[in-house]
Amino acid sequence: MTTAAARPATLEDVARAAGVSRSTASRVIAGTGAASPEARDRVAAAADRLGYVPNAAARALVRGAGVRLAVAVTGTTSAVLEDPYVARVVAAAAQVGTPHGIGVSLHWLPRSAPQALRELAYDRGVCGIVLVNTTGSVLDAVPRSLRGRVASIGIGSRTVPAFDVDNGGGTTAVLHHLYATGRRRIAMVTGPRWLMCAGRSVRAYRQMVREAGLPVRLVRGDFTPARGRAAAVEVMERWPDTDAIFAASDPTALGVIAGLRRRGVLVPGDVAVAGFDDIPLAELSTPALTTASHPVGRIATAAAQAVLDRRPVPPATFFPSALVARDSA
């Protein structure tokens, strides 16, 4: 039961109310060090009664720890910060930080100036960093001082553990589905070239078509619907007999469908279309989009947790991506 107070209670208040010293109160509250069961009870009761909440700033100051988790997104322009995908990562990270009294800040890492990362690393307010859309040069710019308190959603390095969806597995699952349903001339609209983790999908595609003896039909994409629209046209002009298009992201796939429809191509009748990510609205599109799942929330949660808990983690954790078969393919 918490009682209203003009001024939020401090540890000193709690200690006094419990009749112990500040140190003892601190040990009990922080759960560190020993204390007699009696003292423990009295402090807990007092804290409860006063509605005591530890001051995160003071705690961080004395511990030399930071007080916020930085989400740093690599991109060509700061517009990447408006991306719904980034928003989901930030929200998940914020949820993880909350019980620790840790907030999340959002930063843009210019693709051309990855050293901007150093500034973050030198900010003592930053207790850890979650990298998004990581590139090789960003990874190279990670200072040693960050070791153990940085994680990457995307590719990783020896010092930066990676958390990501298993693009390869998801891609393979989708392509197998396409193949199993009779498609033999499958084109792919990829992610941006500079985004290394997108390369895993492309590799899976190449391997699959090679093994099946199918033609390679690659078109560069950038995850946007607009690019999907254009890519659909491009594909049908270069390879008119294409019977399936796999896009590395759902928004792009939806754009592909729109582009195809505009040309009078039937989906999935003439051309099957599949995406990747299973965004909330994939099932609401017409036709409902066949895609592969992408547990963004779980991935971001794991990454944030890893940096906040300073727990040793494997160099790379891949979250499974499963086929979500609907109507478009």
- Site residues (vs DNA, CB under 7 A): 10-12, 20-24, 26-27, 29-30, 32-36, 38-39, 52, 54-55, 58-59, 61-64, 124
Q: How far is the CB of 58 from a copy of itself (least distance, A)?
A: 5
Question: Could you give the CA distance from residue 223 to residue 276 in angstroms, rounded to a whole number?
Answer: 10
Residue choice 261, 270, 318, 325 for contact with a copy of itself (CB under 8 A): 261
Q: How far is the CB of 211 from a copy of itself (least distance, A)?
A: 33
Cα angle 208-75-82, degrees, rounded to a multiple of 5:
105
Question: Which residues within the stretch 186-215 sit at the binding site for a copy of itself (CB under 8 A)?
Answer: none
Binding of a copy of itself by 119 (CB under 8 A): yes
Q: Which residue has the tokens 């001024």?
A: 7
Q: How far is the CB of 56 from DNA (least distance, A)?
A: 8
Cβ atoms of residues 231 and 256 within 8 Å = yes
| H or E stretch at 3 | none
| H or E stretch at 44 | helix 37-50
**Phi/psi at 108 (5° precision):** -100, 130
Half-sphere exposure of 149 (CA within 13 A, CB side): 20
What is the strand order of the sheet 217-219 is part of?
Answer: 217-219, 186-189, 244-247, 272-274
Reported in sequence order, the residue ranges of the chain that DSSP labels E, i.e. its strands, are: 68-75, 103-110, 126-132, 150-153, 162-165, 186-189, 217-219, 244-247, 272-274, 291-292, 316-319, 323-324
Half-sphere exposure of 135 (CA within 13 A, CB side): 18
Instruction: Indicate the length of the chain as a whole number.
Output: 329
Pick what 33 binds: a copy of itself, DNA, none; C-beta below 5 to 8 Å, kind-dependent.
DNA
Binding of a copy of itself by 266 (CB under 8 A): no
Pick what 102 binds: a copy of itself, DNA, none; C-beta below 5 to 8 Å, kind-dependent.
a copy of itself
C-beta atoms surrounding 91 within 10 Å: 14
User: Closer to a copy of itself at the Cβ: 80 or 175?
Assistant: 80
Indicate the burial class of 24 (C-beta count within 10 angstroms; 0-12, 13-18, 19 or more).
Answer: buried
Give the total of residues touching a copy of itself (CB under 8 A): 62
- Report the amino acid identity of residue 52: Y
C-beta atoms surrounding 211 within 10 Å: 8
Q: How far is the CB of 64 from DNA (least distance, A)?
A: 6
Residue choice 12, 45, 124, 310 for contact with a copy of itself (CB under 8 A): 124
The interface region with a copy of itself, picked from 3-11, 128-136, 146-154, 157-165 by CB under 8 A, is 3-11
The interface region with a copy of itself, picked from 24-32, 117-125, 154-162, 214-222 by CB under 8 A, is 117-125
Pick what 23 binds: DNA, a copy of itself, none; C-beta below 5 to 8 Å, kind-dependent.
DNA
Q: How far is the CB of 276 from a copy of itself (least distance, A)?
A: 15
Pick what 38 binds: DNA, a copy of itself, none; C-beta below 5 to 8 Å, kind-dependent.
DNA
The interface region with a copy of itself, picked from 68-76, 148-156, 162-170, 214-222 by CB under 8 A, is 68-76
3-state secondary structure of 284: helix
Pick what 27 binds: DNA, a copy of itself, none; C-beta below 5 to 8 Å, kind-dependent.
DNA
Residues that bind a copy of itself (CB under 8 A): 2, 4-6, 8-9, 51, 53-58, 60-61, 66-69, 71, 81-82, 84, 86-88, 90-91, 94-95, 97-98, 101-107, 118-119, 122-125, 143, 145, 225, 251, 254-255, 257-258, 261, 279-281, 283-286, 297
